[in-house]
Amino acid sequence: MSEQMPTSTRERLVTAVAELMRAHGYSAITVKQITAAAEAPMGSLYHHFPRGKVQIAAEALRSTGAAYIQLLILQMDAHADPRVGVPAAFEDAATRLEESGWRNMCPVGTVAGEIADSEPALREVVAEVMGDWIDQGARYFVNRGVEEVAARELIVAMLSALEGAFILGRALRSAEPLRAVGQVMATRVQVMLAG
């Protein structure tokens, strides 16, 4: 869980399910695990989320998804040049994955592959979150001097590389995939900014 525990029961429940989905996916977690991790009574989950696990998972995916794209932009924005910022963001992701014992993946990506066909409501939420990532990332790169169509192409490739590298890194217990795609994406940014 996060270092500072959210104060309201609702916030604790959302944070708990996000952390559990990051590590275990959606199907493997139970309502009992969620309430235990949130240090909340079982009835409180249904009080705040009458539709149960699907509803709380949707809220957790939206909130963590919004935070993840902002984190990515902040990591890149710490550098004046995107050719430096892009690989730095991938390096930071590699370090975080290593330090977490290979558990620190994005819950949105973790759940996306798992529920694409089995939970249509959550697939729609994941698509909504990822669409927002693409829109925000494309705007970021346009503001950094990349042409609009190329900016969208770049962020789609970057997000695909990032999510895929998380999966490879977790499976291989190696940060190499994140570092490798970070360098490839930096080269792509170089080409786009030169054109």
pLDDT at 105: 77
pTM of the entire structure? Answer: 0.88
152-189 per-position pLDDT tens digit: 999 999 999 999 999 999 999 999 999 999 999 999 99
Q: What mean pLDDT, rounded, does the chain reach? A: 91
What residues contact 110, with CB distance under 8 A and at least 6 apart? 21, 22, 25
**What sign for the dihedral angle of Cα 142, 146, 149, 154?**
negative
Q: What is the CATH number of the domain that holds 95?
A: 1.10.357.10
Give Cα separations from 167 to 72, 92, 125 (angstroms): 17, 16, 20
- In this structure, is residue 130 part of a structural domain? yes
- In this structure, is residue 47 part of a structural domain? no
- Mean pLDDT on 72-94: 93
- In this structure, is residue 50 part of a structural domain? no
- In this structure, is residue 94 part of a structural domain? yes
pLDDT at 117: 84
- In this structure, is residue 5 part of a structural domain? no
28-57 per-position pLDDT tens digit: 999 999 999 999 999 999 999 999 999 999
Cα pseudo-dihedral 166, 167, 171, 176, rounded to 10: -40
- In this structure, is residue 19 part of a structural domain? no
Residue 4 pLDDT grade (very low, low, confident, very high; cuts 50, 70, 90): low
pLDDT at 32: 96
pLDDT at 6: 58
- In this structure, is residue 43 part of a structural domain? no
How many structural domains compose the chain? Answer: 1
Structural domain that includes position 148: 62-194
- In this structure, is residue 6 part of a structural domain? no
Radius of gyration of the chain (CA): 17
Percent of residues, the chain, with pLDDT higher than 90:
81
pLDDT at 195: 64
Top pLDDT among 134 and 109 is at 134
